[in-house]
Amino acid sequence: MTATILPKGNTPTAQYLDQTSQEMGHHFQASATFSKLPALNELVTVWEECKRPNWDGYDALPVQSAALAYTYLLIEALPLGFPLPTIGAEPDGHLTLEWYRHSRWILSVSISPEGTLYYAALFGNSDVRGSEPFFGDIPKSILDLIQRIHIA
């Protein structure tokens, strides 16, 4: 059995379409990153403040660069149209992403240097909590929680 690879075409039209689609893809990707700039800028600010020991006055561990890298990837992995989180840090050196409507309608996701996501959410009198590994795509369970925070 032979695999058939469809040629892209080498006509001027095919080449034009191929080049245009690549340019649009780059532009789209740049736009997507640009739209997440507020969160990415905040990530850098938090990293600068929390990369030293005792950044909170209570002997907090410094945030490691691995947690920073995973958090960057997590923000980039947010589907377009999803609300941006605010960024924070926890005293065990994890970074946090928070989606907040009010104190009883809130989701907090922690990112460990090992790439594990720990999350907890409050929806009125009920709460949800759990953990998921992060392999580059945001787990559906967390995407559903983000949407639930902002639908109410």
Partner 1 sequence: MIDPNQVPPVEEAEMLARYVMQSGHFRQSDLTVKPNLFIPHPYQELSVTRHRDASETEIWAAGEDVATQQQKRLYGRADIQARACIAESLRVTAKPFPNNPNHADIEGWSSQKQDQKAIALKLADAASQLKLPPSATA
CB of 14 to partner 1, least distance (A): 52
Residue 122, phi then psi, degrees to nearest 5: -115, 130
Token pair belonging to 95: 């970074």
96 binds partner 1 (CB under 8 A): yes
By CB under 8 A, which span of 6-14, 22-30, 49-57, 133-141 interacts with partner 1? 49-57
Calculate the alpha carbon distances from 7 to 1, 2, 13, 14, 18 in Å. 18, 15, 13, 10, 12
Q: Considering the complex, state which of residue 6 and residue 152 has its C-beta at the smaller distance from partner 1.
A: 152
Binds partner 1 (CB under 8 A): choice among 56, 114, 137, 144: 56
What is the SS3 assignment for 120? strand
> Is 75 buried (19+), middle (13-18) or exposed (0-12) by CB count in 10 A?
buried
Q: Does 134 bind partner 1 (CB under 8 A)?
A: no
Give the other-Cβ count within 10 Å of 102's Cβ: 8
* Contacting partner 1 within 97-126 (CB under 8 A): 98, 100, 103-104, 106, 108, 110, 118-122
Phi-psi region of 36 (alpha: psi -120 to 50; beta: other; left: phi over 0): alpha
Residue 55 or 72 with smaller CB distance to partner 1:
55
Does 46 help bind partner 1 (rule: CB under 8 A)? yes
Size of the site for partner 1 (CB under 8 A): 36
What is the binding site for partner 1 (CB under 8 A)? 46, 49-50, 54-61, 86-92, 94, 96, 98, 100, 103-104, 106, 108, 110, 118-122, 127, 129-131
